[in-house]
Amino acid sequence: MQASQAVNPAPPSPRRTATVRGLRHPLIRALALVIALLVLLPVTVLVGVGLTGSGEDWPHLVENVLPRSTLTTLWLLALVSAGTASIGVTSAWLIVAYDFPLRRLLAWALILPVAVPPYLAAYAFGEFFHFTGPVQAALRGLFGWQSARDYWFPDIRSTEGAAVVLTAVLYPYVYMTTRVVFLMQGRNIADVARTLGARPGTVFRRVLLPVARPAIVAGVALVLMETLNDIGAVEYLGVRTLTFSVYSTWLNRGSLEGAAQIAAVMMVIVFAILMAEQWARRKQGFHAARATHLKARPPRARLTGWKGVSALVAILLPILAGFGIPVQVLGRFAMRRLDQLSDPALGDAFLNSVLVAGGTALLTVAVALLLLNAVRLVRRPSVLALARVSTIGYALPGTILGLGLLFALARFDNSVDAMMRSWFGWSTGLLISGSAGAVVYACTIRFLALAEGTIRSGLEKLPRNVDDAARSLGCTPARSARTILLPLLTPAILTAAVLVFVDTVKELSATILLRPFGFSTLATHVYENASRGVVEDGAVAALLIIATAMAPVMLLSRALMRDETA
């Protein structure tokens, strides 16, 4: 108290001192609670649906379905996290620490696969590596084989194949989170270690990996949740994960209750992932001291000769797999359908996609900021737990989450309608359900984890004393958040907004369930045109999805690049 008075020419009132310690923020806490409840609404409804079930599905599930699909899911999660972590970390390190031809171009090209929806990547890989695709055709030409029985070729339609596909489009999450850490701190620490005589390998293993661990874990956690909620890719590739079991229980065995029960089991897995992430971040005390952005930093080590070539290959391969293959396959089909470009429905779908994705990005970032600010101000475990649980929707299959929301919204709409009818004699009909607002609501719930995780990573890198200092100078929490935290968090907020935008543009399953009449996004347009599981007719719109998602990614990486060269 004395100290703060000494610093501050205008001594703060005792009430303000209390706020600095974060004891009372009833408004923020109430707001955080309301938001968390709104976000958790569909999950709660689903748990309710699960509880109404009799459990009669379980003998069959336990005996014939769950052991296998749980193992498949865990194996897939293990493979995808290993794949995305190694590709993401390696490429991030190469880009940050070394100099080689095309480095600056590749730094942002590495993000591109994030623009490709997993279901399209699965389709493209299926085509590309199929008997009739270019790879096997070339092999046959080379070796003179005639039919598929003359040789063995790995099957993309397998758990391992699905892992390759998902790794190819999901590794950018790890690349992005890790690269930021390497940029902010990695080189400084690595430079110090190197001047002390450590060899590059040792520096990487002993110094950089531990520093980057929380970022890697944060990226992998996002990847795991994307893998867990995916239905399009695994269904196409014939991999029966838990999500697949959720759908077959609901649709083929007519038990939405049983499906909700499996979904509840999945949420337990997610909760474990979230806890593991929390645990991995527990000692993240590596706050970047911004002052270490020295001009006198040693130049990037130049990789030449075979080293340069291998670095180039290591970086090009994931880009080619996650972006090159889908664009090549879809491009070939799209070239035969360029007339579709003049279809006005495509323009509408594009506009709707941008609107929904833009609205979702704004809303999601706002909600994430509010929750995180509440956590930062109100240092209570209950608030922290609430904020973390709010992000659980990310791991649920989109249709299932959408159903939960649909039930809740329709119940709300019909109650309002019944009330208005009996009181005033006019019907308000379905106010929210069946509007585009419901789609934005669903996407916000789905992708809150993306925004929350990204901004939280940024927040944790800021020294705690930044806003404490401001507030000890008499700044209100709102003002210090606005004037101190927000500007420092701008890169993280931009990244979060772009990630949510991109994921919303790709989103299909919740959108198709909740949208109103005549409302198509690019993703639903692809699905509608691709009649009977034939994606070719949707190829033009599919490429437009990728392009729409790419645009903000490119802008973002340019913005981040400026940051890097500064």
Instruction: Write out the H or E segment, with its range, that includes residue 265.
Output: helix 256-280
Q: Tell me the sheet residues that pair with 302.
A: 99
Q: Using CB under 8 A, which of 5, 13, 64, 310 touches other proteins?
A: 64
Nearest CA to 25 out of 481, 437, 359 is that of: 481
Q: Check the CA dihedral 55-59-62-66 and report its sign.
A: negative
Q: Using CB under 8 A, which of 101, 298, 347, 516 touches other proteins?
A: 516
> Is 254 near other proteins (CB under 8 A)?
yes
> Is 537 near other proteins (CB under 8 A)?
yes
Q: Which of residues 370-409 bind other proteins (CB under 8 A)?
A: 399, 402-403, 406-407
Q: Which of residues 221-250 bind other proteins (CB under 8 A)?
A: 236-238, 240, 247-248
Stretch that binds other proteins, among 4-12, 104-112, 176-184, 411-419 (CB under 8 A): 411-419
Residue 214 or 538: the one with the smaller Cβ distance to other proteins is: 538
Instruction: Write out the H or E segment, with its range, that includes residue 301.
Output: strand 301-302
# chain residues binding other proteins, by CB under 8 A:
74
Q: Using CB under 8 A, which of 529, 542, 549, 556 touches other proteins?
A: 529
Residue 238 or 308: the one with the smaller Cβ distance to other proteins is: 238
> Is 533 near other proteins (CB under 8 A)?
yes
238: how many CB neighbours lie within 10 A of its CB?
14
Q: Which of residues 330-349 bind other proteins (CB under 8 A)?
A: 333, 336-337
Smallest distance, Å, CB 63 to other proteins? 8
Distance CA 115, CA 553 (A): 8
> Is 524 near other proteins (CB under 8 A)?
yes
> Is 53 near other proteins (CB under 8 A)?
no
Q: Using CB under 8 A, which of 207, 436, 554, 559 touches other proteins?
A: 436
Stretch that binds other proteins, among 10-18, 533-541, 543-551, 557-565 (CB under 8 A): 533-541
> What are φ and ψ of residue 349, in 5° steps?
-60, -40
Q: Using CB under 8 A, which of 74, 478, 534, 561 touches other proteins?
A: 534
Stretch that binds other proteins, among 36-44, 80-88, 453-461, 509-517 (CB under 8 A): 509-517
Q: Which of residues 538-557 bind other proteins (CB under 8 A)?
A: none
Distance CA 456, CA 371 (A): 10
> Is 172 near other proteins (CB under 8 A)?
no
Residue 129 DSSP one-character state: T
Residue 427 or 483: the one with the smaller Cβ distance to other proteins is: 427
Q: Which of residues 118-137 bind other proteins (CB under 8 A)?
A: 126, 130-132
What's the Cα-to-Cα distance from 384 to each of 96, 275, 387, 407, rounded to whole Å? 33, 12, 5, 28
> Is 477 near other proteins (CB under 8 A)?
no
71: how many CB neighbours lie within 10 A of its CB?
12
Residue 29 or 60: the one with the smaller Cβ distance to other proteins is: 60
Q: Which of residues 140-169 bind other proteins (CB under 8 A)?
A: 146-149, 155, 157-158
> What are φ and ψ of residue 54, in 5° steps?
-85, -15
Distance CA 454, CA 179 (A): 13
Residue 360 or 557: the one with the smaller Cβ distance to other proteins is: 360
Q: Using CB under 8 A, which of 46, 65, 386, 541 touches other proteins?
A: 65
Residue 24 DSSP one-character state: -
Are the C-beta atoms of residues 501 and 552 closer than 8 Å to each other? Answer: yes
What single letter denotes the amino acid at residue 246?
V
What single letter denotes the amino acid at residue 403?
L
427: how many CB neighbours lie within 10 A of its CB?
11
Nearest CA to 228 out of 241, 214, 216 is that of: 241
> Is 252 near other proteins (CB under 8 A)?
yes
Q: Which of residues 276-305 bind other proteins (CB under 8 A)?
A: none
Q: Which of residues 188-227 bind other proteins (CB under 8 A)?
A: none
Residue 260's SS3 state is: helix
Phi-psi region of 532 (alpha: psi -120 to 50; beta: other; left: phi over 0): left
What single letter denotes the amino acid at residue 375?
V
Q: Using CB under 8 A, which of 198, 200, 414, 420 touches other proteins?
A: 414
